[in-house]
Amino acid sequence: MDNSSKNEEPQSLRLSEISLNNRFSGYNQNLSPLDRILEESIFHFKMISEKWGALEFSAFAVGVLAIILGSFDWGIGELSGGGDYNRVGSEGILFLSDLSLILTLLSIIAWVVFALQLFIRFPIMRENLVYMFIGMIAVQVGYIYTYADTPNFPRDFSFSQLSPILLTNAIFAFLSIFVVHRAVTETRDVHVIERHSHPDPRVVQIAWKDHSLKLWSIGLGLWMILVNLFSWAGANSIAPRPVSVDVSVFNYPWIYLISSIISIFLFIHILWYPQFMLGGAEDRIQSVRAREVSGEMNITSTQKLQGMCPICNEETPATKYPSGQITVLCQQFKCEGVGKPGTICEICEMTFPSRIECNNCKSNTTISSHFDKQDAW
């Protein structure tokens, strides 16, 4: 696992170092996937307890506060009385009681602060943060739109009335799975291939295990389910129309509260883990296709290039990958580290060279010049 920041300790616990005393596979080999999930769960909770600080926990607290401010009636009676359902849009907001309006504004402010905290804390996930927010809002709009037309949903409804939920969930699934999940997994793949290449396949296999995203993917799927759950619970709680002023239509939505709080935790975790795993390497979270479009990946070449001395054309220990990333072997004695020129070796903590001396002609040239002729062709 890569350091989440330059100040992270080099001997940080790795996923491959987690071992179980009792394994499910000992009872049945078909249960071995449960062992891997349990190992990742232990690792994730250990890393959360060690790496989460004031920024992560304060963001979680602000998110929970935003939920409570927007969902609890606080004795005002606006929600429990059903409000004036004959007034909609800006007119309905203008006729809110003063306390209800204050709580609404405070909830909006808390959500804005929550989003800003995440935007600042997880820089490599900013684009995906926007996609996740769009998808989450879309699902809630879908449920609100359905309940507005069918207050007794799911009773007495037709398939056409279900279409807003299906449509918004299709958008949600596309943004979460085909954009966010794909971008993170493909960035992880490029990172492992480029930065953890090694002649010993066992070392590479350990690197793949250290960068596993199985539990992260499960967390993303669970978050998507919870978004649907609290969207349904919230819309369902305020959908009934009161038959008289004495009828309470809003009981405190515990399902909404519990599912929302859990989803806030998972939301932060989904953003934090790629930042923790790849942030220290300063990788951009993008899919392979996005890298091709932006020009970061050479679509004309699907194989890595070995560096060649510009003087005598002898092969050198520098490698260029299809993404354009160049790596070089560490020059320290007996060190097998591989990394980007000018960065710090994770093994010996020395700086990777930006120039290489050719073993054949003894010329000392910049690493970039070892690929000029090959790029021209």
Task: Per residue of the chain (377 residues), give pLDDT as tens.
Answer: 544 333 434 457 888 788 888 887 778 888 888 888 998 999 999 999 988 999 999 999 999 999 988 877 665 666 655 556 666 666 566 666 677 778 888 989 999 999 999 999 998 899 999 999 999 999 999 998 888 777 777 776 677 778 889 999 999 999 999 999 999 998 888 878 777 776 667 777 888 888 889 999 999 999 999 999 999 888 887 766 554 444 455 554 788 889 999 999 999 999 999 988 886 655 567 665 655 555 555 444 456 777 888 788 788 888 877 666 788 888 777 777 787 777 777 777 788 887 888 888 888 888 777 775 544 33
Domain positions in the chain are 15-288, 305-376
Q: Which residues of 63-99 are buried (b: 16+ CB within 10 A; e: fewer)?
A: bbbbbbbbbebeebbbbbbbbeeeeeeeeeeeebeee
Per the DSSP assignment, residues forming a β-bridge with 327 are 319
Alpha carbon separation from 12 to 18, 258, 346 (Å, rounded): 12, 33, 11
Residue type, 111: W
pLDDT for position 80: 57
**Predicted pLDDT of residue 65:** 94
SS (H, E, C) 11-77: CCCCHHHCCCCCCHHHCCHHHHHHHHHHHHHHHHHHHHHHHCCHHHHHHHHHHHHHHHHHHCCCCCC
pLDDT for 324? 66
Structure tokens at 297: 């990946």
Task: Supply 87's token pair.
Answer: 């007034």
> How many angstroms separate the CA atoms of 77 and 70, rounded?
13
pTM of the model: 0.72
- Unique residue bearing structure tokens 């602060």: 113
**How confident is the model at residue 9, as a pLDDT?**
40
Q: Which residues contact 67 (CB under 8 A, 6 or more apart)?
A: 257, 260, 261, 264
- CA distance from start to end of the chain: 36
